[in-house]
């Protein structure tokens, strides 16, 4: 599980740093809608990375616990 935590921490700080850099250096030349689109793409990429990183762990936990995934 250690590599997943490492990827999560690096991705989180990378996302935050990229957002700050974007706001201070690049956002001014684009319209509000373009900035919202950039933010949406960045959030989707972050969520996709986190989902891909943690999906195998979640599936393994489901198998280990023997649950069907429903309450």
CB 16 within 8 A of CB 23: no
* Length, in residues, of the chain: 71
Render pLDDT for 8-54 as a digit per residue (tens, 0 to 9). Answer: 999 999 999 999 999 999 999 999 999 999 999 999 999 999 999 99
Is the pTM higher than 0.85? The answer reads no
- Report whether pLDDT(71) > 80: no
Q: Which of 18, 12, 19 is nearest to 50 (CA)?
A: 12
Over range 55-69, report the average pLDDT. Answer: 82
Nearest-angstrom CA–CA distance, 45 and 23: 18
pLDDT of residue 9: 96
CB 15 within 8 A of CB 46: yes
Over range 60-69, report the average pLDDT. Answer: 78
Helix, coil or strand: residue 3: helix
- Report whether pLDDT(59) > 60: yes
């Amino acid at each position: 599980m250690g590599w997943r935590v490492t990827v999560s921490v690096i991705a989180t700080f990378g996302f935050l740093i990229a957002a700050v850099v974007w706001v201070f250096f690049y956002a001014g030349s684009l319209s509000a809608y373009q900035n919202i689109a950039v933010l949406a793409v960045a959030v989707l990429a972050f969520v996709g990375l986190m989902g891909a990183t943690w999906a195998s762990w979640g599936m393994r936990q489901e198998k280990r616990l023997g649950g069907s995934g429903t309450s």
